[in-house]
A = this chain, B = another copy of it.
Amino acid sequence: MSDRDMKQQQVLQALSALANATRLEIVRLLVPLGEEGLAAGRIAARLGLSASALSFHLSSLEQADLLTSQRISRQVFYRANHARLGNVISYLLNDCCAAHPQIRRCCTTAAASND
């Protein structure tokens, strides 16, 4: 498997993980918390999810390397993997979209001009 295919494979897994309302919310919640992270139970409470539903989605995100987890006593803290998120966005912009000027413009201006 070529380097490029491997990279694409990882990006596809990340996109699949992000292509779900619940998981996108999880990422939105965790990104601003940075290294602090948040315990699974807290995430579940914040988003109104059952423990097992949450666990299902967290593992999907962790498999895609978009989150990391760390057990601290009874709780498991989850953190966003900012580097990986950056990679995914960068792939879309640079590899997939060839850094097309019109597409790139959206990401360099603070608020994207829509439609």
User: A97 — nearest CB in chain B belongs to which residue?
Assistant: B31
- A57 in the interface, Cβ–Cβ < 8 Å? no
Contact partners of A105 in chain B: CB under 8 A: 86
Are B100 and A92 touching (Cβ within 8 A)?
A: no
Grouping DSSP codes into helix (H, G, I), strand (E, B) and loop, the A interface class, with mixed when no group exceeds half, is: helix
Are B89 and A92 touching (Cβ within 8 A)?
A: yes
How far, in angstroms, from A115 to B107 measured CA to CA in the complex?
A: 21
Are A86 and B106 touching (Cβ within 8 A)?
A: yes
A111 vs chain B, min Cβ distance (A): 7
Binding site for B on A (CB under 8 A): 8, 11-12, 15-16, 18-21, 24, 27-28, 31-32, 34, 82-83, 85-100, 102-108, 110-112, 114-115
